[in-house]
Structure 1
Amino acid sequence: MNLPRRTRTHILEDLSVRKFQSLLPEQWIYRTPAHDYGIDGEVEIIDSNGYTTGKKFLVQLKATDEENETKALKLRMKMSSLNYFNQLEVPILIVRYLAKSGSIYTRWLHSLNPNDDTKAEKSFCMLFREKDKWTDVSAEKRLNELEAYHSIKRHLLQKPFLIAVKIDSKASLSQYTAKFATKIIGSSKQLRCPFSFSLVSSLDEKTTSFIEIFDEEYYINLAGVGSFRAHFQPPNDTADLDRLLSDIYVALAFILQRLSHVKEAEGLYDAYINSSSLRDSKPIFFSYIATKIQLNNIPDAIKYVVEIEKKSTNKDDGFNLAQFGLSLVISQTPKEQMNAVISAYEDLIESTDDPLVLATYYYNIGNCLRGNDYNREAIKHYLKAAKTNSDYKLRPYWKKELAGLFFMIGKYRTSNKLYAQSIESENTPENNVLYADSLMLAGNYRQALIILEENATQLNVRNSEWFLKIICLEYLISRYGVEVQKKQGEAGREFIEKSSEKEVLSFIKTKNALCPDSQFFIGTKLIEREEFEEACYCFLVSAFSDEHYKPSWLHAMGCAFNANLTGLLSLILEVASRKWGIEIVSEFFEQFPSSGEFNELALKLIQHCEEYISTFKDNQFEVRLGGSESSNSIVLDKVTT
């Protein structure tokens, strides 16, 4: 007879829970959660008088039968678990139970750091040491660490934040040991320093944040949440001591920035970065820029990047770093401050005669101008980049971006030629639909339709705009019998006001089927006859021909609604909300009488459009490095205002 069998895994789990609970102070409460999503327990801290403190932490228990202690103290877990744990806003204690010895080792999950632990693409390895073994003082130590964690994770940093300083007498400070000790202690007493340093001879269970100086190395740990380790050269004079002190403060600024205490980080950076040997290091480079961007201090960020580039001895590395830094600043700079970025590039242009570097500066000025809708000026700088470095003409992205700029200023034939050249190198559905768009606006309706029908369904992200343009092109070809048209300008409102419907239709057929005013006029006439479906097509053509005129979109929505074309209405709402913002949905519904039914429909459509818009990456900025043969790119998130 088969009976249920208790596995060794279950036995180990029970042993680890009972062992850990037995080690906790008797006042503390251990609870087992009803639902286990990787969390095995919750501990609530009760003080010695029996009062609740409001302090809690979660527990992840990991038991092992491994007899080799070195192996047993290495705990490998999935990155998916780490990602999940990081979403929980409660400290998590990782408990390692060694069944052979009955020992318990503990570490906070937030103490993971590259100095002690390793991370791979799909997993991480947490290393436990002898200091992590549970002893009689471990509960007190974990409580102190918990309080320090909450102190540094607060929205406002508790000041002064206490940090112990331990200096090994055998450290490479040599005869400067005492002098440095007095320097670092005294520095924390300066105005607005967020820290208070105290010299200690050893790190005990009450020590939660510390700076340790030994050999030719220093290690900073703030409440186990942020750490920094670096080497230093043995000092030869007091100037070297000042540099080491600056390095430590810059490292502290780095940790604070990562913990979102950016105002305090900026204060330390401003005071110490210019005298620090860490000034040119990549981690500090990006942290400093991020700090200034977060505080909207764009000029400081730009000045710093320019100085780094000018001082760089390794021009290839320094140039790419400066390029990436300025691109990062661009991606986060509000439009009203973009002139400062352009000025920075112009300053850099004055400092170099390297054509490859110059060309990249011209190209990126073009990017800045393009982002601010100065399309004609952007074109000039794109062309200047190619003139300075002809390799740009071989780069598909340069052709594609230049094609987009010509499209924006209404030079559709030049645009489709450049798109066609780009497709020769990168024949993707994304490039093809842009090519078709330029063909459509240039009057090549049949060719545009064929390309859109072949590629619109092949895109990585569904884009309803292309399906609407397919509908418009089918309508133009079937209604007016025009497949190719050499457009002859727009009719103008004066002409339309004086003309009959027949005369406007003749203008559309013979001169310009994409004339926005003409199509809008015909749409209004069709509404009068309640021919809503065809009217909807007219308003869509008008909308795509002049995307700055919102009434075309609202009329198209209304006609689709009246014609009961729910699928078409959904497409129009999706495209219009992406172009005009989600407010256009509520604006459309304002024409209807207020009722629960319409309100419910409006809310559903707003939610639907929000979900549609979220599938696009309109808030991203691509940084490109390298040439036509080795082009690399990094995607950054743009600032949102």
Structure 2
Amino acid sequence: MPSRPIQHQLEDLSRTKFKITLPCEWVFRDKYNDYGIDGEVEIFDKDGKSTGLLFFVQLKATQSANKKLVKTVKFNVDTLNYYRSLPVPVLIARYDATNDCFLTMWAHEIDLFYAIKAQKSISVRFREGSEWEVQDKQNIVFFLEKHRALAKQNLPIPIPTIVTIDKKSTFIINNYTLKGDIINKLAEHNDIIKTTHDHHEALIDILINAEQVIVRVLGDPRCTFQYTPPEDKILLVEEITDLILIGIAGAIAQREMNDLAAKIIFSGNISEKVSRNLNILQLFLPHLLRSSYYDSALKLISSVLQDDKSCILEFITHTCILISLNRTNEKQASAIESFLFNCAEISKTIDKQKYGTNLYNIGNFYRSKHLPRKAIKFYLRARKFQPAYYKQGYFFAELGGLFFHINKFKISASFYKKALEIESKKDWIPLYADALMFCGNYQESLNTLDPYINSEKNCADEWVLKNFFLDNIVNNFKVKSQDRNENLANKLADIRLSEKDELRKKLESSLESDFLCALAWYNIAQNHYREADIYSAAVSFIFSSLLSRTDVEGWVNAVSCLLNIKKHDGLIIHTIKTAYAINRESFRSSLYSRLEESCVDSSSIIDALEAIITTCATDKEDAELRIPDEAGKMNDILGLIKKE
């Protein structure tokens, strides 16, 4: 007969036993399909009302009689990191079947500071007093309430903090005097921190020994500093106090409370100490630059860069700036702009190639701010000082994009062509084809784009539509190229005062002047619609919208027409996804409003359209920061960071 493994029996027994130990107001729910989680406990008050407080439980059962084995559990480091990432705290409960009791600890209290970098597992030992049955369950409630406040970034200010000095450690003064002096020193920052002796009140606890200052947030060891105690009493107190403040700021910053962290750094008079330690400064940079203290942060970094010969900090700062940049915050942009120019000035007399790199990064900043003419100016200046750019495909591709945005299509096409000659990057092919199309080289554009569309499974829907558009121009209208006359085409396409008999002729003449005249295609679409040729109207509205990408009405008209025909060759999906990718919510709301006005029962249609729209990825223009490697190749370190 089949037998059931002992370990499975123990696991079920531990689950039953743990439920019994809970207060009657608490509810345990089994979780069988969650990775590393056996149950969930929800806390209700004495009146049976939910408090909204929850914690997860990971049960570990043993029937060993060896006390050392009972008190030790082995965990995968990845599992512990997973527990720390969860929004709900995880209680590890070790069931000792021999003595019928539980030992417990919170997963986030396990300190991975000493784990070797490549270490896959770690042995964890339960502390004395960790017996679950003797713990006051009200303390669990206090802990969960503080955890919830921390998760919501709703900290009490000043932050209750408890300071403990290891009794086994010896200093040049006795531990009680040292603790008192540290508390008095911290009192100078009583608008941010208040010391307490009440463990239930404290959100942060500080453990000090002769080698380390450890900062814990609700038991979570967020920051650990190694230090050598000074032999002078005053310096000792200042050193430990500064490390406490830096540790609290770091722990808070890791919780993305960037403004509070920056306030501690800049109002606590520890910014100079932070600036002297490159490793600490690097850790704080992203948070300081995302705070309202970014101006102070940039000034601090500028002072450091005067002596930074390695340039590492400068590159890291540029990275953080581009990641943190808020395009709508002009004050922030102005501060960043000044900082970048300052970096360039510092490097100008030291290293011409580095100066060229800094000029490029200024251009990159302007590109991210959608200021193409300024960006072009600094890109072109950069290559005079940094010859490596002449060998970089991305450099010419970026210039191609910038010249495209200022309607210099021939220059744009030449730069894209040069980029592809240096590096055959697939993403540049449709951009090159687009530039060729706006040059009037329709056949060459189609020859470039069509193979790309046929070979790429996940190409953007806009390129599929443009390929369809080019195919119509070349194969239906038999036009391979054209010297575009935009002004004449727009003049002819304006048919507001034209007689009905001459409309078609004027619109045909408009296309003969410029097949990329959006107004002509829009009016052609309206004519087709009046003549009940709905498919032709839809196609013409698509062409018009491709040429005037932010014309929401044109896109809505195209989709509305396609919804009224049975056969549309998949055009409707490409059209919806392209329109939404370009115009986002303005397209969605306009389309749904149109449908609600024109359809008796529009809900089923809207549901179907919503299913298409929700598959669209949110396109974000990634900032880039490039630095030369040992071979002189310019690598995008932002891209490398994101891959990590």
Q: Under a length normalisation based on structure 1, what TM-score does the superposition of the two structures give? A: 0.84
2:471 maps to 1:467: no
2:574 maps to 1:575: no
Return closer, same or farther for 1:597/1:300 CA change in 2, 3 Å cut-off: farther
Contact 1:436 1:452 in 2 (8 A): yes
Deviations 1:445-501 (Å, cap 9, x if unpaired)? 223223322223544744110110111011111232112333344425434447753
Return closer, same or farther for 1:205/1:269 CA change in 2, 3 Å cut-off: closer
Return closer, same or farther for 1:621/1:355 CA change in 2, 3 Å cut-off: same
Deviates more, 1:465-474 or 1:90-99: 90-99
Instruction: Give the letter aligned to residue 58 of structure 1.
Output: F
2:601 maps to 1:597: yes
The match for 1:441 is 438
Return closer, same or farther for 1:296/1:468 CA change in 2, 3 Å cut-off: farther
Contact 1:429 1:458 in 2 (8 A): no
Contact 2:363 2:378 in 1 (8 A): yes
Deviates more, 1:337-346 or 1:178-187: 178-187
2:72 maps to 1:73: yes
Deviations 1:287-306 (Å, cap 9, x if unpaired)? 64444455444423433333
Distance 2:124 2:100 in 1: 18
Contact 2:550 2:582 in 1 (8 A): no
**Matched ranges for 1:286-365 at <5 A:** 288-312=284-308, 314-330=309-325, 334=329, 337-353=332-348, 354-365=351-362
Return closer, same or farther for 1:505/1:40 CA change in 2, 3 Å cut-off: same
Give, in angstroms, the shift of residue 115 of structure 1. Answer: 1.7
Q: Which of 388, 398, 401 is the aligned partner of 2:395?
A: 398
2:271 maps to 1:272: no
Deviates more, 1:542-551 or 1:380-389: 542-551
The match for 1:522 is 524
Deviates more, 1:238-247 or 1:444-453: 238-247
**Matched ranges for 1:425-574 at <5 A:** 425-456=422-453, 458-459=455-456, 461-497=458-494, 501-509=504-512, 511-566=513-568, 567-574=570-577
Give, in angstroms, the shift of residue 13 of structure 1. Answer: 0.9
Distance 1:465 1:472 in 2: 10
Return closer, same or farther for 1:390/1:138 CA change in 2, 3 Å cut-off: same
* Aligned-partner SS, 2:4: coil
Deviates more, 1:435-444 or 1:275-284: 275-284
Distance 1:535 1:30 in 2: 62
Return closer, same or farther for 1:586/1:146 CA change in 2, 3 Å cut-off: closer
Q: Which of 193, 196, 207 is the aligned partner of 2:194?
A: 196
Instruction: Give the letter aligned to residue 601 of structure 2.
Output: E
The match for 1:608 is 612
* Aligned-partner SS, 2:131: coil
Give, in angstroms, the shift of residue 5 of structure 1. Answer: 1.6
Contact 1:29 1:46 in 2 (8 A): yes
**Matched ranges for 1:612-631 at <5 A:** 612=616, 615-618=617-620, 620-627=622-629, 628-629=632-633, 631=635
Deviates more, 1:622-631 or 1:411-420: 622-631
Distance 1:157 1:111 in 2: 20
Deviations 1:125-144 (Å, cap 9, x if unpaired)? 46234447537755567666
Identity of aligned residues (%): 22
Instruction: Give the letter aligned to residue 611 of structure 1.
Output: T
The match for 1:252 is 248
Q: Under a length normalisation based on structure 2, what TM-score does the superposition of the two structures give? A: 0.84
Contact 1:406 1:414 in 2 (8 A): yes
Q: Which of 372, 377, 381 is the aligned partner of 2:374?
A: 377
Deviates more, 1:341-350 or 1:422-431: 422-431
Instruction: Give the letter aligned to residue 406 of structure 1.
Output: F
* Aligned-partner SS, 1:75: strand
Give, in angstroms, the shift of residue 7 of structure 1. Answer: 1.2
Q: CA RMSD in A?
A: 3.9
2:637 maps to 1:633: yes
Give, in angstroms, the shift of residue 188 of structure 1. Answer: 4.0
Return closer, same or farther for 1:625/1:224 CA change in 2, 3 Å cut-off: farther
Deviates more, 1:29-38 or 1:321-330: 29-38
The match for 1:241 is 237
* Aligned-partner SS, 1:278: helix
Deviations 1:217-249 (Å, cap 9, x if unpaired)? 211212123521102232254356324312211
Distance 2:222 2:83 in 1: 22
Distance 1:180 1:325 in 2: 38
Instruction: Give the letter aligned to residue 75 of structure 2.
Output: R
The match for 2:131 is 134
Contact 1:464 1:575 in 2 (8 A): yes
Instruction: Give the letter aligned to residue 544 of structure 1.
Output: L
Return closer, same or farther for 1:205/1:605 CA change in 2, 3 Å cut-off: closer
Contact 1:118 1:125 in 2 (8 A): no
Instruction: Give the letter aligned to residue 59 of structure 2.
Output: L
Q: Which of 57, 60, 79 is the aligned partner of 1:59?
A: 57
Contact 1:106 1:132 in 2 (8 A): no
2:11 maps to 1:13: yes
Contact 2:31 2:39 in 1 (8 A): no
* Aligned-partner SS, 1:350: helix
* Aligned-partner SS, 2:325: helix
Instruction: Give the letter aligned to residue 584 of structure 1.
Output: F
Give, in angstroms, the shift of residue 18 of structure 1. Answer: 5.6
**Which ranges of structure 1 fall in alignment gaps of 5 or more residues?**
none
Contact 1:573 1:585 in 2 (8 A): no
Instruction: Give the letter aligned to residue 230 of structure 1.
Output: F
Return closer, same or farther for 1:381/1:208 CA change in 2, 3 Å cut-off: closer
Instruction: Give the letter aligned to residue 634 of structure 1.
Output: L
* Aligned-partner SS, 1:219: strand
Contact 1:148 1:208 in 2 (8 A): yes
Distance 2:150 2:517 in 1: 62
Distance 2:455 2:69 in 1: 53
The match for 1:93 is 91
Deviations 1:158-188 (Å, cap 9, x if unpaired)? 3444333222466464248666433421244
Return closer, same or farther for 1:553/1:257 CA change in 2, 3 Å cut-off: same
Distance 1:6 1:338 in 2: 66
Distance 2:68 2:457 in 1: 50
Contact 1:540 1:552 in 2 (8 A): yes
